[in-house]
Amino acid sequence: MEAPHNPATEEAEPVARTSTPTIVRITVTSPEQMQELGRRLAKLLRAGDLVMLTGELGAGKTTLTRGLGEGLDVRGAVTSPTFVIARVHPSLGDGPPLVHVDAYRLGGGLDEMEDLDLDVSLPESVIVVEWGEGKVEGLSEDRLQVLIHRATGDTTDEVREVTLTGYGERWTAADLATLAA
Ligand SMILES: Nc1ncnc2c1ncn2[C@@H]1O[C@H](COP(=O)(O)OP(=O)(O)OP(=O)(O)O)[C@@H](O)[C@H]1O
Ligand SMILES: [Mg+2]
């Protein structure tokens, strides 16, 4: 006898979601190396990618983004803008533009974030967000989280531990491990 047909359970069937994020840890020992990591990471990025940069003031988020900008070959210097919250760096070639967001000065207000229309630009851009925790996760189910922190016991103040965590199917396929090589 056939099992009773139950649409409710069928709809509840899990849509194969990746439960384990891909995690890669890298030690960086100078600002130049951080920028170089950005250049290499840029090679893995494509339109539609959301990268969240996390780490305390002066951790090196903007330095990494500078490398991303070089690797993506975009126009304009990547800086820490005082008044600008988001800056679009168009590609100098045929790659995606880099949208660099520094949400530090944005209050918790999601409205301000929505005003940036990041959801509109995401499909054709690479969006990199500093201080975006709790503000931009809703933009995409797939995101690359880059956590930068100063190594404990570092006497030169130039050693950083970088942890890249790829959430979602996009990042299971991307070979983040090549960055650690
Ligand atoms: N290994 C390193 N990687 C990156 N920056 C480093 C490193 N070592 C020293 N630095 C210095 O730390 C500072 C990092 O500044 P940066 O603007 O990139 O940080 P940030 O995380 O963007 O800060 P903020 O939260 O203010 O935006 C720079 O002055 C840089 O020269
Ligand atoms: Mg910064």
Listed by start position, the domains of the chain span 31-152
**The pLDDT value given to residue 174:** 74
Ligand 1 pocket check for 143: Cβ under 6 Å: no
Three-state secondary structure call for residue 84:
coil
At 28-52, the pLDDT tens digits run 999 999 999 999 999 999 999 999 9
**Residues near 59 by Cβ (< 8 Å), separated by ≥ 6?**
148, 149, 150, 160
Residues 21 and 165: beta-carbon distance below 8 Å: yes
Answer yes or no: are the C-beta atoms of 85 and 116 closer than 8 Å. Answer: yes
Give pLDDT, residue 109. Answer: 60
Q: Measured from the CB, is residue 61 less than 6 Å from ligand 1?
A: yes
- Residue 149, SS3? strand
* DSSP percent split of the chain into helix, strand, coil, nearest 5: 30, 25, 45
Residue 155, pLDDT score: 81
pLDDT given for residue 142 in this prediction:
95
**Neighbour count for residue 98 (Cβ, 10 Å):** 27
In 3D, which of 72, 79, 132, 67 has the Cα closest to residue 98?
72
Tokens at 68, concatenated: 């991303």
CATH superfamily of 31-152: P-loop containing nucleotide triphosphate hydrolases (3.40.50.300)
The CB of 31 under 6 Å from ligand 1? The reply is: yes
Q: What is the position in ligand 1's atom list of the atom closest to the CA of 30?
A: 1
The alpha carbon of 5 and the centre of ligand 1 are apart by a number of angstroms equal to 59
Residue 20 DSSP code: S
Q: In the block, which residue shows the tokens 């070639």?
A: 93
Give the side-chain half-sphere CA count within 13 A for 48: 7
List the chain residues with pLDDT less than 50.
9
pLDDT at 5: 57
